[in-house]
Amino acid sequence: MQRPPLYERSPLYYFVAASLLENEEYSSREVREITRRVALRKKNNPVDINDAEFKNRYRLNKESFKFLCNQLKQKTSLKASSRISLELKVLCALSFYATGSYQRLVGMAKYLGQTTVSKCVKEVTDALVTPAILNTFIKFPYARADRDVIRNKFFAKYGFPGVIGCIDGCHFHIFTPKKEVEHLYYSRKHFHSLNVQMICDSDCRILNVNAKYGGATHDAFIWENSVVNNYMQSLHRNNEQVWLLGDSGYPQRPCLMTPILDAVEGTPAYKYTAVHGRTRVAIENTFGRLKNRWRCLCKDRTLHYAPVKCAKIITACCVLHNLAIEFNIPEPEPAEIENPNLTMTISEHIFQENTTGDGLIRGRAIRSILVDKINRLHT
C-alpha cells in the first residue's frame, strides 16, 4: 500500500515554532527571576544598615524615615503590594531623589528591577504631593501667632523688621517637552525648565511652593497670580505690617519689599539694601540646600519626564527638605556638580512697570518708612 505524501512545512512554520519556544523560555526565565527577587526582598532588610550609611543613601535618618512611612500610611493611598513593602517603595523613591539615577539603586539592591523602581518612585511621588501630606509639611503662616514667630526669628537673625518670608523663583532643568508647549518652558537662560516659586523662613524651611509654570514665565507674573499674593494683600488691608522680601525681579508692593538699586553708598537707602540682601540670602540658601540634599534636582541631573511629573518630583523633594529640617538631619557633603550663588541679591532680570501704579506708590511709601527704621536700628 502506498504511503500518503508528507506535507512540506514552510519556513514561516519553523519561524513561528522557534519564536514560541523562545518566548516560553523567556517567560520561564522571567518568572524565575521575579521569584528570586521576591525571595531576596523577604530575606534582606534594606533598613538593616548602620545610621551613617542609611543617611548617605537616603538623606534621612531612620527616625524620620519611620515617621514619613507612618504619615504616608495614615494620610495617603500608598500601600504595600504582595511583593513589595511600603517601606521599600519609599526607600526606592528616596534613593532616586538623592541621586537622580535608577542605576545606583538597581545595582545596590540586586533584587529590584528598573521597572519596579520606576513604579515605586511614581507611587511615592504621587503620595508625597497629596494635599494631606503637603499641608502637613509645607505650611504658610496663615495664623497670626505663626507669623509672629517667623517675624521675630528674622529680626533676631538679620535685623530686618516685619519679614515673614523670602521669595524667589528657581529654574529646574527638564527634558524638552512636546513641541506644541515647548515655548512655555524655554527659559531666558537658554534651556528648558520649570520656574518654581518658593517662599522660605529664616531657617530655610519652605513655606510655600508653586511649580505650575514653565521657564518662560517671569517671576513677577507667577507672584501676581499666586494665592499667597492675594493673602498678603488681605493682611495689609487689615493693617498688619508684614511683608516678604524679593529681589529686583519682583514689583515693589506694600507686602513685598525689593532692593533700591540706585542707592548711593553711605545713605540710609544703601544700608537698607545691604540689610535686605543679607536677609534675602535665606532663599538662595534654601535652593542650595534643597538641591544638595536631593540631587535629582541639580543642574546636571535633568529630569527626563513630562513637565507635570517634574513638578510633582520637585514638590515631593520640598516636602522631604522640610522633613529633614524638622528632624535636624545634617546636610550631606556639598556636591561638586552644584555651586549655587549664595550671595546673589540682585535679579538678572529687573522688573519694569508703570511708575504711576497705586500698588507701587504705596509700596514705595512703606519702603521709605522701613529705610528710616533700618537706618536707626543699624546705626
Written as one letter, the residue type at 99 is T
CB 179 within 8 A of CB 301: no
CB 260 within 8 A of CB 273: yes
Predicted local distance difference test score (pLDDT) of residue 338:
45
Predicted local distance difference test score (pLDDT) of residue 62:
96
CA-based end-to-end distance of the chain? 123
Predicted local distance difference test score (pLDDT) of residue 151:
98
pLDDT less than 70: residues of the chain: 1-11, 13-15, 17-18, 20-45, 102-111, 335-356
Helix 86-99 with 62-75: angle, nearest 10 deg: 120
Those residues whose C-beta lies under 8 Å from the C-beta of residue 241, and which sit 6 or more positions away, are 162, 366
If we measure between CA atoms, which residue out of 242, 249, 256, 260 comes closest to residue 154?
242
Sign of CA dihedral 45, 332, 209, 121: negative
If we measure between CA atoms, which residue out of 297, 301, 302 comes closest to residue 314?
297
Those residues whose C-beta lies under 8 Å from the C-beta of residue 185, and which sit 6 or more positions away, are 174, 177, 192, 193, 194, 214, 215, 216, 307
Q: How many CB atoms lie within 10 A of CB 185?
A: 24
Distance of CA 254 to the CA centre of its chain: 28
Sign of CA dihedral 106, 110, 115, 117: negative
Sign of CA dihedral 310, 332, 285, 146: positive
If we measure between CA atoms, which residue out of 195, 193, 216, 218 comes closest to residue 303?
193
Query: What is the Rg, in whole angstroms, of the alpha carbon atoms belonging to the chain?
Result: 27
If we measure between CA atoms, which residue out of 372, 316, 335, 318 comes closest to residue 120?
316
Predicted local distance difference test score (pLDDT) of residue 357:
78
Predicted local distance difference test score (pLDDT) of residue 334:
80
CB 172 within 8 A of CB 310: yes
d(CA 274, CA 84): 53
Pairing of strands 193-200, 163-173: antiparallel
d(CA 223, CA 243): 13
Return the ∠ at Cα 321 (arms to 145 and 41), rounded to 5°. 135
Q: Is 358 exposed, middle or buried (0-12, 13-18, 19+ CB in 10 A)?
A: exposed
Helices (H), the chain: 11-43, 51-58, 62-75, 86-99, 103-108, 114-128, 131-137, 144-158, 219-224, 227-237, 268-293, 307-326, 358-377
Predicted local distance difference test score (pLDDT) of residue 106:
47
Predicted local distance difference test score (pLDDT) of residue 362:
94
Those residues whose C-beta lies under 8 Å from the C-beta of residue 146, and which sit 6 or more positions away, are 139
CB 342 within 8 A of CB 222: no
Predicted local distance difference test score (pLDDT) of residue 300:
72
Predicted local distance difference test score (pLDDT) of residue 47:
81
